[in-house]
Amino acid sequence: MQYLKELLSKSFFQDFEEVVGDHLFNFKMHDLMHDLALSMAKNECGIVDSHNHFISKKTRHLSFVEDNMIRDGVPSFLSNTYRLRTISFPHYSVTPTQSFMESCISMFPFLRFLDLSYCSIVLVPKKLGNLRHLRFLDLRGNDEIKKLPSSICKLQSLQTLMLEECEELHELPRDIRFLISLRYLSFTTNQKFLPHNRIERLNSLRTLFIDSCINLEYLIEDIGDLKALRILSINNCPNLVSLPSSIKRLSSLEDLWLQDCEKINLDWGIGTEEEGTHQDLNSARPHLRVLVLEKLPKLVMLPQWLLQCSANTLQWLVIKGCPNLLALPDSLQNLKSLRVRHCPKVASLPQDMHGLTTLEKIEIEGCPTLSERCQQGSGEDWPQIAQVRNIRLDGHLIIK
């Protein structure tokens, strides 16, 4: 973040926009800076296409932009580039084959970055475990992969492992706990339960995305052992019943995303527990900055445990498609952005909204009563938000 902000201050980036929180941004690189970056890279970066068959042996990062160049495996003219660190495919029309992947693993033992997303991979070879320097592995969208080789757990330098949209994947590797450097994990699996003594042992894990696990009913109870976890996102898990009570022990958690989980009850199991000591509540619990709740039909009120994790720290609150939600939470002292969409039973703003001096943006859509009460000048809740600079009501923008 420090590097990003410094580059922004020096006009390295332009059209910079925060999407949600300080983890998601949109921006462009200035054309002049892009040209400068290319000139500095010199021979370290290369693009393989039908017009370029000369790649320097000093090249470390390769992009393949034409499908016909990889159909039969790695082109022979790349045999001198065995010290490659990066292989990527910037265009979705270019899809690596099984033979190309196997050739890569054999020919380039020093790979750090390997993007094999949305390919036609059926079997992940055991030799993948030989890439001792690999830090980033993307296997998203390979919906024919049923099992990962146990050798993948030998990749002790691996920091990012992406397995989303692998819809046939039966289970995560049993020894995944040995990926001691893993910081980012995303996956789709057919499992009903996540087995004990696996994911919760990933002590370096900072980001966990659980996506489209159609059969998943329960998470691991010991998820609270992930003390370094900052971002937890659970999306499209229609049979997930609840969150484990140990989520209250994720002391580093800052972003919580719960989307499209039609059976989840956020009060189940957690709300019935004793709240613990005052010290536990203020130190061991999460201090959320971003909370996104979307398509949760069982959500009526935000549970007490979630409010306690948000009161003094929450800056971005997004609630969408919660048809039974009755009210928005009070006492969010540091809130910067509030988005409420398609929550028709929410009839008013919190009474302390006028006291939120940090609030910069409000967006309301698909909430008829609430929108009427927030109309400029005439709405009953307008005095509560008159100080906010950026307000959008059902698509109509009010900027002061």
User: Which residue ranges make up each domain of the chain?
Assistant: 319-400
pLDDT of residue 277: 45
pTM of the predicted protein model: 0.89
**Alpha carbon of 69 to those of 64, 75, 197: distances in Å?**
8, 7, 43
Are 99 and 93 in contact by the 8 Å Cβ rule? The answer is no
pLDDT of residue 22: 60
Measured distance CA(327)–CA(300) in Å, rounded: 8
Measured distance CA(293)–CA(276) in Å, rounded: 26
Are 280 and 250 in contact by the 8 Å Cβ rule? The answer is no
Q: Does residue 344 sit in helix, strand or coil?
A: coil
At 20-30, the pLDDT tens digits run: 766 678 888 88
* N-terminal to C-terminal alpha carbon distance within the chain: 30
At 186-236, the pLDDT tens digits run: 999 999 999 888 899 999 999 999 999 999 999 988 999 999 999 999 999
Amino acid at 176: I
Both tokens of 70, joined, read 């990889």
Q: Considering only CA atoms, which of 269, 264, 210 is closest in space to residue 241?
A: 264
Q: What is the mean pLDDT of each run of 10 residues along the chain (400 residues)?
A: 85 80 77 86 85 84 86 83 89 82 91 90 92 96 93 96 94 94 96 90 96 94 94 96 92 96 80 44 79 96 91 93 94 92 94 86 95 92 91 87
With tokens 């999407």, the residue in question is 19
Q: Considering only CA atoms, which of 58, 105, 60 is closest in space to residue 84?
A: 60
